[in-house]
Structure 1
């Protein structure tokens, strides 16, 4: 697929073409108190992800052969251009939606039979937001689980590698007729359709979340978004794995 320069009046991409994600940097082991952690930057968006292990099964997992993984998501007050009050409302719809997405995505990458009678908590905190915070949180959460797995193997706590898939996510949007990969905030707010695609490194689809913003799109456009999303995830995960 050939990338064309953005038409006049559309958001610029700061030197990257339409199908190229923003620069990605990740550092694991960033929190000395957490058994697994990672700091991830995707463009100007920054996420700190930590993993904690509780030696207690989730209530619905008692007596079962595997443990459980749950995720929490929060945005710091100055993650955006204006200060936002700390979110103390556990019923916040957007936060709850993102946490459920993160939990589903990260549970798909790990064999929880290695954590029987335990609960893994993956906390993703947005330090700086410039679009794509939920997809960056999936990538950061995976990196933190990789850090956890490596530490447990080296400590002898686990004898088998618990991660069964490399899992990541990417945002894809249509601005006018242009398909763009990894939208920043300026692009996201003018997209007429966008998807957050969660997939594995080998192209298996886990979830697609999003839709049209300015009226219906065609089935062909949706499939194009989905296909580009899966391809973008593969590229982003190569960057993550290279830096772990």
Structure 2
């Protein structure tokens, strides 16, 4: 973890208490960020997000598969995050593996809801080709290139940008295919369907330091946290998932207030992210 002197700790905590953080931001202000799309040509969609000193990449690969028997009318999405050992000293060895597992699970929960699919921010029914027989499986891979805090929000933004950049090949199903066997399908090489990301949420993490909470915490600020709550919110203001980290307990009224703040902050973040994605897509088309 980040090694700070007693004076540095007091400086960080005192600044947050006065709504003036060490980098000049207020408690509910994100660092400047930018988005690049199409960074991995072999993928169906990809994006890179730089949020202050945090740098992450997300890629999407689409493959035809078979729907789960319990959810024949839905496709499948698998999310895996890898933390590069060079991103931070703490990622070397087991530390990186544990954080990768934690981030993968958190993103799965925030973007796909519970096991039943309730609260899912990604429309899995749009991935079905033939109900009960053929669907698209999306494999979403995240890579942490550099870490300076707030990895979950950055990865969530990168995944939303990568999904916006994703083209799903058009599929023609053979006429008259029936029975228990899998139908024959023809995958187009030049026709693609744009993935609908209107319901894909952004993730807002509120980190509690002392009596106050902040958004987009840096590594130094995260080292002083008592707890953190990550809320995924769709563009329509719907809560898609909520995760708490840290050992300190939170009063239910505090959690409700944090959710309210997260919904407010998510509107600004969503607008900024959408404009950055549009600009990145325009640059990709020009190049």
Which TM-score band (shorter chain)? 0.7 to 0.9
In the alignment, which residue of structure 2 is the partner of 1:68? 76
Residue 111 (structure 2) aligned to one of 99, 106, 110 = 106
CA drift at 1:13 = 3.5
CA drift at 1:125 = 0.6
Q: How many residues align?
A: 231
Moved over 6 A (4+): none
In the alignment, which residue of structure 1 is the partner of 2:59? 50
Runs of 5+ consecutive residues of structure 2 not aligned to the other structure: 1-9, 16-20, 113-119, 129-134, 171-189, 278-287
CA drift at 1:123 = 0.3
Residue 206 (1) aligns with residue 222 (2)? no
Contact 1:112/1:162 (<8 A) preserved: no
CA drift at 1:173 = 1.7
Residue 77 (1) aligns with residue 85 (2)? yes
Q: Give the number of the structure whose alpha-carbon radius of gyration is greater.
A: 2
- For residues 28-67 of structure 1, give each alpha carbon's deviation from its aligned partner in whole angstroms, at most 9, with x where no partner exists: 1111111100000112111100000112236x35982331
In the alignment, which residue of structure 1 is the partner of 2:132? none
In the alignment, which residue of structure 1 is the partner of 2:268? 235
CA drift at 1:87 = 8.0
In the alignment, which residue of structure 2 is the partner of 1:36? 45
Runs of 5+ consecutive residues of structure 1 not aligned to the other structure: 1-6
Cα RMSD of the aligned pairs, angstroms, is 2.8
Residue 191 (1) aligns with residue 209 (2)? no
Structure 1 SS opposite 2:237: coil
Contact 1:111/1:164 (<8 A) preserved: no
Shift in CA distance, 86/56, structure 1 to aligned 2, threshold 3 Å: farther
Residue 23 (structure 2) aligned to one of 10, 14, 17 = 14
The TM-score, its normalising length taken from structure 1, stands at: 0.82
Shift in CA distance, 101/217, structure 1 to aligned 2, threshold 3 Å: closer
